[in-house]
Amino acid sequence: MFKFIESIGDKTIKSLESLFEALKFTSICLIHMVQPSSYNPAMRMVLTKQIYFTAVGIIPIFTMMAILFGSVIIGVVIALATEYGLTDKIGSIIITFVIDEFAPFFTALLISLRSGAAVNTEIAVMKVNKELNTLEEYKIDIINYLFLPRIISGMISVTSLSILFAIIMLSSGYLFTLFYMNMDFHTYKQLLIHSIEVSDLVILLLKSMAFGFVTMLIPIYSGLNTASSYTAIPISVLNGMVKLFIALFFIEVLSLLLQSI
């Protein structure tokens, strides 16, 4: 009985210690993010490359998926709204679903699978190969040089791609309204314009930035905690992805709760 209680206590202490270390690492990254000295030429060069790899390289497949999801999902939303007699609220339903919820969340999931896992692997390999120690020996600030560009690129990429996804999705959704409801483009455009509010744009920006932050922060932190063996790298990536998906769902649920207040 005492051993069982002792094991629970040990696990609780270790969990609290892990949480404290994670919060400490997060606070350090945030402090570096607001310091002008962090944005030196080397950091800006890495940031530019990271934005290209994270956001620009994914645009072709991202656009195709946005068109596909836009025409299908908005079509389903319009069909259900029509079936339940909510035709007069179609505009607000589309705006809320696309801008407030689907666009930022789907974009964050896609970036997590593509770039989050890659960053986790990259940092884990550098940790195992002692490359991080080498950079520190040469007095290179690894937070400014390695971590900060990836975190900021994640925030910029998720936010910009979420906006792009919402625009493409709303535009492609017109195809369904044209064939299903025989609605002309001007009517569809006015329907969306009259339904969108400033709060929808604020939610999109804040949620996308939060998603982008954790999309890079958690994989980086997971990579830093990799054990000193190559066999530990896949485990690190798996643990990082699980924690990242939990964080994304937590942000989504928290956003829904705040919007309902």
pLDDT digits (tens, 9 = 90+) for 150-190: 999 999 999 999 999 988 888 877 777 777 667 777 777 78
Spatial contact of 108 and 210, defined as CB atoms under 8 Å apart = no
pLDDT digits (tens, 9 = 90+) for 12-64: 777 777 788 889 999 999 999 999 988 988 899 999 999 998 888 888 888 88
**Count of other CB atoms within 10 angstroms of residue 154:** 30
**Rounded distance between C-alpha atoms, residue 43 and residue 148, angstroms:** 8
Please give the pLDDT value at position 214: 95
Under the banding of pLDDT at 50, 70 and 90, the label for residue 242 is: very high
Please give the pLDDT value at position 1: 61
**Rounded distance between C-alpha atoms, residue 8 and residue 53, angstroms:** 43
Three-class DSSP category at 146: helix
Least confident stretch, 62-66, 120-124, 207-211, 252-256: 62-66
The two structure tokens encoding residue 177: 């309204």
Amino acid at 182: N
Spatial contact of 112 and 220, defined as CB atoms under 8 Å apart = no
Is the pLDDT reported for residue 120 higher than 90? yes
Please give the pLDDT value at position 185: 77
User: Integer distance in angstroms from the first to the last C-alpha of the chain?
Assistant: 44
Per-residue CA distances from 242 to 51, 112, 129 (Å)? 24, 11, 24
